[in-house]
Structure 1
Amino acid sequence: MNGYEPDFWHWWILALGLIIVETLVPGTFFLWMGISAIVLGLVAWLVPAMGWETQLMLFAVLSLVSIVGWRWWQRKHPEETDQPTLNRRGEQYVGQVFTLETAIENGFGKVRVGDSLWRAQGADAAAGARVRVTAANGVILVVEPVD
């Protein structure tokens, strides 16, 4: 034995640490590294003669495969929700009709939505005109006049 050789329980302690970090820094990145460390701890327990170089390489490969695999699976199976526009507030207003607070001149004006003012983009229209939101472009509501 030349120097330090990690034991199986070292990988389980690392896994616990990585999973704790995941709870503090969300993003499902450290979770998969923690799961890889759990798997590697199990492999190191079953094959105690495995050298630290092999363990480290296996941890890197398992981590990479699990993270890339999870990202690929997430893209192929997006999470369905009953509120798809929850964190996209502007998109929640698409299809609704509002009154212009300030005239749309040179393509831009302001529309009152509840207790706030939103920048509106569309064809020129006078203040007080009714407009329908057709899209949201970031924080700008794209509107068209209501006939």
Structure 2
Amino acid sequence: MTLKRLSVILLACLVLSACGGVDPNSPLGQRKAIFKQMLKTSEDLSGMLKGRVAFDGQRFTDGAVKLDSLSHEPWKHFPAVKEDSNSSAKDDVWQKQARFQALASSLESVTGELVVASNERPYKASNLSPAVQKVQDACEACHKEFRDH
């Protein structure tokens, strides 16, 4: 699935879920806000590499750092027991915690790799594109297993 298609699907889900009146202070509201920020940041980085957005090395590095920071945040907003809500998370999030945590750790790891790649000079798409792809692959792997589309 292409990044553009995945982004459109994720954005549509976020927009539709916002119509449901989710409490922004609830665990669901907090993790949705973080995932939305992650998506926006990832789209900016991808856009720079694909020419949709003018490439700015410092902005790319800042975005990689932001994405890495954000990648550590949403997991603490998954309560021990599934909340009664219109969450997109499958019940497997709570039933297969070890696997869910492994995929979360994988995302955290590859966003760290992206930060390292973004600090290499000179900036080269050949260094940055594979690192961005790893992040996108990590997101997609978790969504396939744990997100109810």
Give the TM-score range, shorter chain: under 0.3
TM-score scaled to structure 1, two decimals? 0.27
TM-score scaled to structure 2, two decimals? 0.27
**Which has the bigger relative contact order, CA under 8 A and spacing at least 6?**
2
- Higher normalized strand content (fraction of residues): 1
- Higher normalized helix content (fraction of residues): 2
